[in-house]
Structure 1
Amino acid sequence: MRLTHIGGPTLLVEVAGWRLLTDPTFDPPGRRYAFGWGTSSRKLIGPAVQPADLPDVDAVLLTHDHHADNLDDAGRAYLPSVPVVVTTASGAARLGGTARGVRPGESTVLEAPGRPALTVTATPARHGPPLSRPVAGDVVGFALRWDDGSLWVSGDTVLFRGLREVAERLHVDTAVLHLGGVRFPVTGPLRYSMTGRQAVRLCGVLDARTVVPVHVDGWSHFAQDRAGVERDLARAPADVRRRFRWLPVGRAVELEPA
């Protein structure tokens, strides 16, 4: 498995002859984006790789389409160049075209000659506190499985019972966790994505050999950056700490098979 962290939640995943891209965000930094209900955020860091410099991508895994830190204008313009976009059912209805909508627990299969079939299963995510779904919208994670490997992308989510239950059932080689501890001034202390402390608790029931944090910095609404996550990790059990791996931005990294 080869992973290239492009920035934010955007990751190029190369496995078994497939190239997948998560949550494409390619806008330059500087602009402020509205997220609805009085919330907004400024993009602080641009992508390490431009769309024109990417190899041909077979599918986009889009955890949700309605927040610009997961799909910005340049990312949206990129989608028609990709054969398949897998996203939420509501997002697929908005995007149309080649988008395939999946609800938590539902699967779709990517197939191509000469390559093993790749099963993509949507996993539950809750992008905020209890009862926030009508405001924060639908989000999913993705569990990928192929002949001899597996990967889980959490999507933007806080730690909640549904996520713990998925982690207890999943047997994956690598987990990609969206962190950042998102907060907005208008909603005070409420969190809209996981903190490092929550990630540590999740890893207590998750058997992934490697845990890759992403979506930790680059936006003004992230309340916990890498340094904050690392402070939480420093207090974690040793077996959890050694599983975490920070990827260099813009450079491909080979992960050894289990």
Structure 2
Amino acid sequence: MKDIRVTHIGGPTVLIEVAGWRILTDPTFDAPGRRYSFGWGTASRKRTGPAIEADQLGPVDAVLLTHDHHADNLDDRGRVLLEQVPIIITTRAGANRLGGSARGMRPWEVTELEAPGLPTVTVTATPCRHGPPLSRPIAGAVVGFALRWPGQEHGVFWITGDTVFFRGLRTVARRLTVDTVLLHLGAVRFPITGPLRYSLTADAAVKLCTTLRPRTIIPVHYEGWEHFSEGRDQVERAFAGAPHGLGERLHWLPLRPGPST
């Protein structure tokens, strides 16, 4: 990850600084304690606050929003921040809901981040399925993002988005060479839907990374909410026995969250 700085703010929220760009993913800056509805009888409470408050973040050039309709990916303070950001890229449905200049993308569509004095960053939307088979009408549309910029030597920087392991992720492995992967983990589950999962489990993450063979693996979206059923311990155990030395490629970013509840 030469010449790139990645800061984990909490949950799926990450600041990526590269080539002069400051790119934020899935803005979540609400204080902990509140319980949020996710629809269809599902809900979750936020347990920890962000490591950096929105007003301490500094200027943001672009937001990559995997989806807008779940508060653990975009909350109230995150929506306020969007009003100050010139470029917002998300799903087609999300762009319609957000309005303004938000760009909507479907999997494998390509757009570019452009700004005076900065190199062009190419963004490719990648497929996600935010739950078990046939769950898309309920869970809604989600996209991941693969980033390319001048000077990359070993492949793209890929943000998986909230997804389970399905054939669409195998397509990513076939179509892209991934240098760094930002893994949305947590094995999300809700009491009302029993054993069903709505994001990657640790074992599924190992399966995905065994296919990808990335040089750097960054776990996010595994802490701070009660609907995450797997945390760092489970991920480390799963990768400890993974082939190809994948466990040595895990990079846990420092995370010093605000007050918890």
Q: Quick one: which of 95, 108, 113 aligns to 1:110?
A: 113
> Which residue number corresponds to residue 70 of structure 1?
73
- Offset, 1:172: 2.5
Match of 1:121 in 2: 124
Spell out the pairing of 1:76-87 with structure 2 (5 A cutoff). Answer: 76-87=79-90
**1:230 corresponds to 2:236:** yes
Q: CA deviation at 1:203?
A: 0.7
Q: Which residue of 1 aligns with 2:135?
A: 132
Structure 1 residues 24-78: Cα deviation after superposition (integer angstroms, max 9, x where no partner): 0000000000000000000001001011111211000000000000001110111
TM-score using structure 2 length: 0.94
* Alpha-carbon offset, residue 113 of structure 1: 2.1
Distance 2:136 2:180 in 1: 27
Partner residue of 2:149?
146
Q: What residue is the counterpart of 2:31 in the other structure? A: 28
Identity of aligned residues (%): 66
Q: CA deviation at 1:114?
A: 2.0
Deviation at 1:250, TM superposition (A): 5.3
Gaps of 5+ in 1: 252-258
Moved over 6 A (4+): none
SS of equivalent residue, structure 1 residue 173: strand
Whole-angstrom distance in 1 between the partners of 2:172 and 2:38:
28
Report the CA distance between 1:237 and its aligned residue: 2.0
Aligned to 1:254: none
Counterpart pick for 2:9 among 6, 11, 15:
6
Greater Cα shift, 7-16 or 224-233: 224-233
CA shift at 1:148, angstroms? Answer: 1.7
Measure the CA separation in 2 of the matches of 1:86 and 1:240.
31
Whether 1:15 aligns to 2:18 is: yes
Q: How does 1:176-187 map to 2 (within 5 A)?
A: 176-187=182-193
**SS of the residue 1:115 aligns to:** coil
Instruction: Within 5 Å, give how 1:145-224 maps onto structure 2.
Output: 145-149=148-152, 150-224=156-230
Residues matched between the structures, number: 251
Unaligned runs of 5+ in 2: none
Give, as a single letter, the amino acid of the residue that structure 1 aligns with 2:73.
N
Cα-Cα RMSD: 1.2
Q: Choose from 215, 227, 246 the match for 1:240.
A: 246
In the alignment, which of 51, 54, 62 is matched to residue 54 of structure 2?
Answer: 51
Q: What is the deviation of 1:168? A: 2.8
CA distance in 1, matches of 2:173, 2:33: 36
Asked if structure 2 preserves the Cα contact closer than 8 Å seen for 1:5 and 1:12, the reply is: yes
Range moving further from structure 2, 153-162 or 238-247: 238-247
